[in-house]
């Protein structure tokens, strides 16, 4: 009896996941080359399918599955058990918000995003302010509906990083700030600044693409399970573990955009390509959290592709693709140039060292908004003050300040910390990996990247969502979140580069 | 009351059509570049969505819509009325076949297709024969379930060309055969054979693509509503009128494959791009029949792109793309070469003149199978005899004979005549068009193709499925199907080229 219900439940979920896969492919297509006059009708198709998935996730049928299966959970297979848990979480989250209120919120989101675009284009925070206020209000009400433990903001964090709390973040972000802020200042004051002008020569797109493909293959990205396309905003998308696509953007005056961007997305893609195939057709067949996902992209982008040994192998190849640009530049000069630190106003253009500070600014503001210590009207001022304090520079308009990111306009609060968490996780994974692969640097130098990828697959990738992020971290590294590894990495690396 | 049911019905249908659009995009993706290891899972997703559409088309809800709306059809909008008619036809067709039997048939189809592939590869008809026999048996039973008027084969013809009958086809195909067979013989005996060796120089793919894009733009293909990709088997696919994609294949040793193939698909695409947008979300938003669809592709491929005046304009451009290949070849020599007639065994490689004979062979065989005068076991012999009789050549194995086409392996009987019908329609449209656009040749020469496309849109494209094929033909040309126009076109053209 229970087996039959279990089977029906899995079929039901598989149908939802199939619709999701179709929706994802339509998104990929819209972003990579769908004819522009077809966008409106395609968006309607996406809307109709999404609505169907939403209906299924909150239907009476779903309620019945949850009611029948939950009490017998010890009789279910492991996959069913975790799937049921995910579905239940989703069901409760969606059911607790009154339908009318949710509908109003969806309309607000889409309106707010287009107003934000205009506000950003004209650097006019006042235009966006009433929308942002409403978005915050809605989310405050949602937190009340959903309930919270300790701090209201925890509920939002949990959406992206299950189990993460303000208590933990306050502690790690304080540590990061205390170490990074003075280090950035020391770096800025160093007389040993890298020469970078050679980075900006014209590097034709086709050659950047050819080099990117070569690097991707070596990193282990499986082209029989993926493809590389071009988009304005690069992304990785996992349709299923056997179809994980990435995109990149080519700047002919700065090859770093494509190379480091592609490798970043490759990190995300390697995660999705190596999730166990047994999870296909369930909501478990994806990364376990935003933070763990970002740890994989940052591991590849920073801990591999900004490493000296990686370029010891790959710089001569790069030189072949652009001999005029690099023939007179030594490996050491190249390495220092691609690791230049320069405090900037824009998060997505930030270097490795200053990046966490951008996230800390956003974390502190979000926490304040949901704890009632910060009001939306004061955001520009607070934002600018924090940039001045942490990064030493002050935005002279809100387009390069508080209006720069799309996240809040879509009502995504609690997402930003994932970026910095991912970075800390990556450093912690690297530290643990060194115990098993002490010759890590040598592997990079030889282009033997398989053992590294396998280490990550064994401990992270294959589980999909069957393990929680903090469980993965604990089991892979033997300890809870520890900011020291990232701090140590940054201090050692940048003290050497800037000869401090 | 009736208005409310009408509204619900249209919403219901819109959902089915949205699923179909998603399915179509997944097919396009599978054929153009989906990662190969993802194919299996994607096929499953397509299966799940297709099953859902099938369920909806045969559901009790659909039955209720039909029952409630049909008696009040004069109160419905025109679009609803035709939509209802389509849904009813589909409903009855699907409901009349017992579910178990249909399921068995679907399994047989997919098995038969893979067996056919192997049989073709090894030229082994005996391997395919039992499957083909079963496919014919199933279709005979379906005809019994569905009923037929006059001739059992009419029911199959009606699937692809609503209203078409054996009586009509017997007459037009007899005429075609009587004129084309002797003409082909005369052509073969002519001492004035064109020189064609220059066609086969190496013509790089990128240049073929650039030239194709230029031609497509001039023909009026709207790239804001479409795109051109590369596939092994070229096709056009209309996701909706604002997203109609085409694909082509490049043969670097024969540029004609890509150029004429692209223009052929462009003809299909122009049809789909110009269906009235008011039909989006209904089953009326596509070509009215296979024959009318083919008339558009053949109009562009043959009546435009194999016309002397078209190359008077475009040959100098082609020469610029491949100067070495064509600099010593006159326009006249080029025109004669691309219109060479050469009886061949393979339908898809046939020239304009012999093409209808390939279709007539298939028509006569299909009709015989469903009238009980031909048995599957005798097919290779009958096929080969007919090729010898009509085309003067005899296949020396079944791979280039009866096994060459995929259609029968999927159970598609009654489809082939559409190809020749489309050709006759196209000639008849051309004749009618000349009354409105007497300077047709001049328009081609000047590259002014808009009036031609507009003529077709006005009389054919915009209606989608709201007019039946024979209605369109009658209204656009003032008469019923008449094979004379095609015969006259072929006789005049080829007598001139071969100086008969």
Q: Do A38 and B239 touch (CB under 8 A)?
A: yes
**Which of A22, A23, A53 would you mutate first to test chain B, the one with the most B CBs within 10 A?**
A22
Q: Residue B163: what are its φ and ψ, rounded to 5°? A: 95, -10
The residues of B carrying an active-site annotation are: 265
Minimal C-alpha gap between B238 and chain A (Å)? 11
Assess whether pLDDT exceeds 90 at residue B344: yes
Q: Do B21 and A37 touch (CB under 8 A)?
A: no
Q: What residues make up the domain containing A374? A: 125-500
B258, B208 Cβ separation under 8 angstroms: yes
Q: Looking at the structure, tell me whether residues A354 and A399 fall in a common domain.
A: yes
Interacting residues of A469 by C-beta distance below 8 A, sequence separation 6+: A161, A162, A163, A164, A288, A289, A291, A292, A425
Q: Is residue A45 part of a domain?
A: yes
CATH code for the domain of A237: 1.10.1370.30
| Chain B residues near residue A275 by CB distance under 8 angstroms | none
Q: Looking at the structure, tell me whether residues A139 and A32 fall in a common domain.
A: no
Q: Do A243 and B45 touch (CB under 8 A)?
A: no
A204, β-bridge pairs: none
Q: Is residue B446 part of a domain?
A: yes
Chain B, residues 54-73, CB within 8 A of chain A, namely none
Tell me what the mean pLDDT of segment B438-454 comes to: 98
Q: Looking at the structure, tell me whether residues A52 and A183 fall in a common domain.
A: no
Q: Is residue B154 part of a domain?
A: yes
Minimal C-alpha gap between A306 and chain B (Å)? 29
Asked if B40 has any chain A CB less than 8 Å from its own CB, the reply is yes
In this prediction, residue A99 carries a pLDDT of 87
Q: Is residue A243 part of a domain?
A: yes
Q: Do B35 and A243 touch (CB under 8 A)?
A: yes
Asked if A496 has any chain B CB less than 8 Å from its own CB, the reply is no
Assess whether pLDDT exceeds 90 at residue A14: yes
Each residue's pLDDT tens digit, A22-31: 999 999 999 9
Minimal C-alpha gap between A23 and chain B (Å)? 8
Assess whether pLDDT exceeds 90 at residue B99: no
Asked if B29 has any chain A CB less than 8 Å from its own CB, the reply is yes
First to last CA, chain A: 70
State which of B66, B96, B126 marks the end of a domain: B96
Cα torsion B192, B193, B197, B199: sign: positive
A48 vs B15, B223, B244: nearest CB: B15
Asked if B35 has any chain A CB less than 8 Å from its own CB, the reply is yes
In this prediction, residue B65 carries a pLDDT of 98
Q: Is residue B273 part of a domain?
A: yes
Asked if A33 has any chain B CB less than 8 Å from its own CB, the reply is yes
Three-state secondary-structure class, residue B237: strand
Q: Looking at the structure, tell me whether residues B460 and B353 fall in a common domain.
A: yes
Q: Which residues of A are annotated as a binding site?
A: 264, 268, 294
Q: Do B45 and A222 touch (CB under 8 A)?
A: no
How many angstroms separate the CA atoms of B157 and B164, rounded?
Answer: 6
Asked if A18 has any chain B CB less than 8 Å from its own CB, the reply is yes
Interacting residues of B195 by C-beta distance below 8 A, sequence separation 6+: B333, B336, B337
Assess whether pLDDT exceeds 90 at residue B34: yes
| Chain A residues near residue B44 by CB distance under 8 angstroms | 18
Each residue's pLDDT tens digit, B250-299: 999 999 999 999 999 999 999 999 999 999 999 999 999 999 999 999 99
Give burial (CB, 10 Å; 0-12/13-18/19+) of A317.
Answer: middle
Q: Looking at the structure, tell me whether residues B177 and B92 fall in a common domain.
A: no
Tell me what the mean pLDDT of segment A238-243 comes to: 98
State which of B69, B96, B123 marks the end of a domain: B96
Assess whether pLDDT exceeds 90 at residue B84: yes
B243 vs A21, A38, A239: nearest CB: A38
- List the beta strands (DSSP E) in A83-153: none
Minimal C-alpha gap between A406 and chain B (Å)? 27
In this prediction, residue B1 carries a pLDDT of 84
Minimal C-alpha gap between B341 and chain A (Å)? 38
Minimal C-alpha gap between A111 and chain B (Å)? 24
| Chain A residues near residue B49 by CB distance under 8 angstroms | 18-19, 22
How many angstroms separate the CA atoms of B369 and B374, rounded?
Answer: 5
How many angstroms separate the CA atoms of A12 and B115, rounded?
Answer: 33
Interacting residues of B179 by C-beta distance below 8 A, sequence separation 6+: B487, B490, B491
Q: Is residue B73 part of a domain?
A: yes
Q: Label residue A1 by pLDDT band (50, 70, 90).
A: confident
Q: Looking at the structure, tell me whether residues A21 and A84 fall in a common domain.
A: yes
Asked if B272 has any chain A CB less than 8 Å from its own CB, the reply is no
Asked if B380 has any chain A CB less than 8 Å from its own CB, the reply is no
Each residue's pLDDT tens digit, A348-382: 999 999 999 999 999 999 999 999 999 999 999 99
Tokens of A63: 């309620």
The distance of Cα A129 from the centroid of its chain, to the nearest Å, equals 26
Each residue's pLDDT tens digit, A114-149: 999 999 999 999 999 999 999 999 999 999 999 999
Q: Looking at the structure, tell me whether residues B87 and B119 fall in a common domain.
A: no
Q: Do B48 and A242 touch (CB under 8 A)?
A: no
A27, A236 Cβ separation under 8 angstroms: no
Q: B461: annotated binding-site residue?
A: no
Tell me what the mean pLDDT of segment B19-39 comes to: 95
Asked if A280 has any chain B CB less than 8 Å from its own CB, the reply is yes
Asked if A247 has any chain B CB less than 8 Å from its own CB, the reply is no
Q: Looking at the structure, tell me whether residues B134 and B63 fall in a common domain.
A: no
- Residue percentage of chain B with pLDDT more than 90: 98
Q: Which residues of A are annotated as a binding site for Zn(2+)?
A: 264, 268, 294
Each residue's pLDDT tens digit, A162-205: 999 999 999 999 999 999 999 999 999 999 999 999 999 999 99
**Which of B42, B56, B230, B278 would you mutate first to test chain A, the one with the most A CBs within 10 A?**
B42
Each residue's pLDDT tens digit, A71-97: 999 999 999 999 999 999 999 999 999
Please give the C-alpha separations between residue B450 and each of A35, A119, B236, B356, B453, in angstroms, as whole numbers: 21, 42, 20, 29, 5
CA torsion, ordered A175, A177, A183, A186, to nearest 10 deg? -140
Minimal C-alpha gap between A10 and chain B (Å)? 14
Q: Looking at the structure, tell me whether residues B61 and B124 fall in a common domain.
A: no
- Residue percentage of chain A with pLDDT more than 70: 100
Q: Is residue B56 part of a domain?
A: yes
- Is beta strand B243-248 parallel, antiparallel or unpaired with respect to B228-230? parallel
In this prediction, residue B275 carries a pLDDT of 98
Tokens of A5: 């219900």
Average pLDDT, rounded, for chain B: 97
Tokens of B301: 């491929």
Three-state secondary-structure class, residue B345: coil
| Chain B residues near residue A45 by CB distance under 8 angstroms | 18, 21-22
Q: Do A18 and B44 touch (CB under 8 A)?
A: yes
Minimal C-alpha gap between A237 and chain B (Å)? 13
In this prediction, residue B249 carries a pLDDT of 96
Asked if A381 has any chain B CB less than 8 Å from its own CB, the reply is no
B228, β-bridge pairs: B246
Number of other CB atoms surrounding residue B147 within 10 Å: 9
Q: Looking at the structure, tell me whether residues A86 and A136 fall in a common domain.
A: no
A224 vs B29, B36, B245: nearest CB: B36
Nearest residue of chain B to residue A227 (CA atoms): B35
Asked if B364 has any chain A CB less than 8 Å from its own CB, the reply is no
**Which of B12, B35, B40, B280 would you mutate first to test chain A, the one with the most A CBs within 10 A?**
B35
In this prediction, residue A204 carries a pLDDT of 97
| Chain B residues near residue A35 by CB distance under 8 angstroms | 223-227, 242-245
Q: Do A41 and B243 touch (CB under 8 A)?
A: yes
Question: Any idea what the Cα angle at residue A264 is, between residues A262 and A265, rounded to 5°?
Answer: 65
B337, B195 Cβ separation under 8 angstroms: yes
Three-state secondary-structure class, residue B327: coil
**Which of A20, A54, A242, A272 would you mutate first to test chain B, the one with the most B CBs within 10 A?**
A242
Asked if A328 has any chain B CB less than 8 Å from its own CB, the reply is no
Q: Looking at the structure, tell me whether residues B122 and B193 fall in a common domain.
A: yes
How many angstroms separate the CA atoms of B298 and A489, rounded?
Answer: 67
Q: Is residue B286 part of a domain?
A: yes
Asked if B53 has any chain A CB less than 8 Å from its own CB, the reply is no
The residues of A carrying an active-site annotation are: 265
Number of domains making up chain A: 2
Interacting residues of B378 by C-beta distance below 8 A, sequence separation 6+: none
How many angstroms separate the CA atoms of B198 and B315, rounded?
Answer: 14
Q: Looking at the structure, tell me whether residues B43 and B138 fall in a common domain.
A: no
**Which of B21, B33, B50, B221 would you mutate first to test chain A, the one with the most A CBs within 10 A?**
B21
């Amino acid at each position: 009896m229970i087996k039959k219900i279990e089977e029906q439940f899995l079929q039901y979920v598989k149908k939802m996941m199939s619709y999701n896969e179709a929706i994802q492919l339509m998104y990929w297509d819209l972003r990579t080359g769908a004819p522009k006059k077809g966008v409106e009708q395609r968006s309607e198709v996406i809307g109709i399918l999404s609505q169907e998935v939403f209906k299924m996730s909150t239907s009476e049928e779903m309620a019945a599955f949850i009611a029948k299966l939950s009490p017998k959970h010890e009789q279910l297979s492991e996959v069913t058990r975790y799937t049921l848990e995910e579905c239940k979480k989703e069901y409760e989250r969606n059911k607790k918000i009154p339908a009318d209120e949710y509908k109003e919120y969806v309309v607000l989101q889409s309106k707010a995003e287009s107003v934000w675009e205009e506000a950003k284009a004209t650097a006019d925070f006042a235009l966006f302010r009433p929308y942002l206020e409403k978005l915050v209000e809605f989310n405050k009400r949602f937190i009340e509906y959903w309930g919270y433990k300790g701090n209201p903001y925890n509920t939002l964090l949990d959406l992206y990083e299950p189990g993460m709390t303000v208590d933990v973040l306050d502690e790690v972000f304080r540590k990061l700030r205390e170490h990074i802020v003075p280090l950035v200042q020391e770096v800025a004051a160093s007389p040993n600044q890298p020469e970078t002008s050679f980075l900006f020569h014209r590097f034709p797109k086709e050659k950047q693409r050819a080099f990117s493909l070569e690097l991707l293959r070596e990193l282990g990205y499986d082209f029989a399970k993926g493809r590389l396309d071009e988009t304005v905003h690069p992304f990785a998308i996992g349709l299923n573990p056997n179809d994980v696509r990435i995109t990149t953007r080519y700047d002919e005056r700065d090859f770093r955009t494509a190379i480091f961007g592609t490798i970043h997305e490759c990190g995300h893609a390697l995660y999705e390509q190596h999730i166990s195939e047994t999870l296909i057709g369930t909501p478990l067949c994806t990364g376990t959290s935003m933070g763990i996902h970002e740890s994989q992209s940052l591991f590849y982008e920073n801990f591999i592709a900004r490493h000296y040994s990686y370029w010891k192998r790959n710089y001569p190849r790069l030189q072949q693709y652009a001999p005029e640009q690099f023939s007179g530049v030594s490996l050491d000069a190249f390495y220092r140039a691609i690791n230049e630190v320069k405090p900037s106003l824009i998060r997505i253009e930030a270097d490795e060292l200053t990046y966490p500070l951008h996230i800390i600014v956003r974390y502190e503001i979000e926490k304040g908004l949901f704890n009632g210590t910060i009001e939306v009207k004061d955001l520009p001022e607070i934002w600018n003050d924090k940039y001045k304090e942490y990064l030493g520079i002050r935005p002279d308009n809100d387009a390069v300040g508080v209006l720069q990111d799309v996240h809040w306009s879509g009502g995504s609060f609690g997402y930003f910390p994932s970026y910095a968490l991912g970075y800390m996780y990556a450093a912690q994974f690297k530290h643990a990996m060194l115990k098993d692969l002490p010759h890590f640097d040598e592997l990079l130098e030889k282009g033997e990247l398989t053992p590294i990828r396998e280490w990550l697959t064994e401990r992270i990738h294959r589980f999909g969502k069957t393990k929680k992020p903090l469980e993965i971290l604990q089991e892979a590294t033997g300890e809870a979140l520890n900011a020291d590894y990232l701090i140590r990495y940054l201090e050692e690396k940048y003290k050497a580069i800037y000869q401090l």
